[in-house]
Amino acid sequence: MAATGTTPGTAYVVGTFDTKAEELLYVAGLLRAAGLSVVTIDVGTKTASAEADISAEAVAACHPEGADAVFAAGDRGAAVTAMTEALLGLVATRRDIGGMIGLGGSGGTSIIAPALRALPIGVPKLMVSTLAAGYVGPFVGVHDIAMMYPVTDIAGLNRLSRVILANAAHALTGMMTRPVPQPADSRPALGFSMFGVTTPCIQQLTERLSGDYECQVFHANGPGGRALEAIAGSGMLRGMVDLTTTEAADHLLGGVCTAGPERFDVVARTGIPWVGSCGALDMVNFWAPETIPERYRGRLFHAHNANVTLMRTTAEELEQIAAWICGKLNASSGPVRLLLPEGGVSALDAPGQKFHDPAADAALFAAFERHFAASADHLLVRVPHHINDPGFVEAAERHVRELM
């Protein structure tokens, strides 16, 4: 779905031509004037327009149930949802996309943003949206989408909107035509997950590996885990060194650092080599104490700071977490190494620290052994060290080098 080679590819201009044709054609004209090949796409759900290169009817026909799923939907919300799916279907068939720009209000942004997220990381993507001045997380996700606020509504050209839309067109032109400096570095890239309580482990490991691998570290705080998996899914990593899997605890137990139910799915989907562990599974993250759900009152907590409170996980909870992670990893056709640090899974879980609980850790390791489907290519390895100890780091390095 993306252009390859040395040419910039085609600039795709997407929006609802039944309400924003003037602005879309203005942006398309500026891109063509800059020397780019341009394709315009109509994702309107109301009236037909003949001004776009790809009509709304042609887009709607890419819906799995055909164009009627869009135009006979019965109400605007259903039509917008169906057009969103249809646009994704169309984008999946295009091989010349060098960049994409969308213009929209709430409906148009809802239709176009998923298509932008479907493009590979690194392909230029820009969304001019009346929602860009607010919370854009649901539209951007963990993808490299540039959001631009149009200041005025996208409802006709005027002396202000011409400037804003021209800046947007020229920004996309720059992204598509200016070469990205290519470093001489030819080291393959590895993606690492890290939390504050596993930082010593990751720092030691990346130092040992950095001579041979480019080490990209992601904060396991929810968005970080999603970003790690998005990069892995895009084919930009040789492998994942996922030693900090704490986001699973937050997902299952209602914490604030969840990466969602899709965490680890990329491992099964792609078969990417995976070396991981149970770093920071001794905790669930909440905000300030008053935000903690009532059902957890009376549990063991640690105040990380004034705004973040950590809760120690129990043996019963760790059983659930281990089973969930193993269910994901067992589905992978690629090589998997799951390392169990018998001395503790985080800085707070070390001997003498507040979350030190050998019985809970033993229950976690036993649960992993019960639920992990071991094979010649899927190994479960007990390591007699704490996760932040040099001995564990040495074992992790050995398995990374064997797999990668």
At the fourth CATH level, the homologous superfamily of domain 189-403 is Uncharacterised protein family UPF0261, NC domain (3.40.50.12030)
54-107 confidence digits (pLDDT tens): 999 999 999 999 999 999 988 999 999 999 999 999 999 999 999 999 999 999
Give me the mean pLDDT over the 143-160 stretch. 96
182-223 confidence digits (pLDDT tens): 878 889 999 999 999 999 999 999 999 999 999 999 999 999
311-367 confidence digits (pLDDT tens): 999 999 999 999 999 999 999 999 999 999 999 999 999 999 999 999 999 999 999
Q: Which residues of 59-88 are buried (b: 16+ CB within 10 A; e: fewer)?
A: bbbbbeeebebbbebeeeeebbbbbbbbbb
Give the global pTM: 0.85
Contacts of 86 (CB under 8 A, 6+ apart): 59, 60, 61, 62, 63, 67, 69, 70
CATH 3.40.50.12020 fits 10-177, yes or no: yes
Q: Is 172 exposed, middle or buried (0-12, 13-18, 19+ CB in 10 A)?
A: buried
Cα dihedral 61, 62, 64, 68, rounded to 10, equals -20
| Integer-rounded Cα radius of gyration of the chain | 24
Q: Which amino acid is at 327?
A: G
Q: Is the pLDDT of residue 5 over 60?
A: no
Domain with CATH 3.40.50.12020 in the chain: 10-177
Helix (H, G, I), strand (E, B) or coil at 99: strand
Packing angle, helices 76-93 and 106-118, rounded to 10: 30
Cα within 13 Å of Cα(247), Cβ side: 27
273-324 confidence digits (pLDDT tens): 999 999 999 999 999 999 999 999 999 999 999 999 999 999 999 999 999 9
Domain with CATH 3.40.50.12030 in the chain: 189-403
- How far is Cα 384 from Cα 388, in angstroms, rounded to an integer? 12
Return the pLDDT at 229. 96
Contacts of 16 (CB under 8 A, 6+ apart): 42, 43, 44, 45, 46, 104, 107, 108, 111
- How far is Cα 218 from Cα 279, in angstroms, rounded to an integer? 14
- How far is Cα 19 from Cα 39, in angstroms, rounded to an integer? 18
Contacts of 38 (CB under 8 A, 6+ apart): 10, 11, 12, 13, 28, 31, 32, 53
Helix locations, 44-158, DSSP H: 56-60, 68-71, 76-93, 106-118, 137-140
Give me the mean pLDDT over the 118-146 stretch. 96
- CB atoms under 10 Å from CB of 358, counted, come to 12
| Spatial contact of 248 and 325, defined as CB atoms under 8 Å apart | yes
Residue the block writes with tokens 């409170």: 309
Of 115, 93, 99, nearest to 37 by C-alpha is: 99
**Token digits for 218?**
């992601």
Mean pLDDT of the chain: 96
**49 — pLDDT class (breaks 50, 70, 90):** confident
Cα within 13 Å of Cα(61), Cβ side: 6
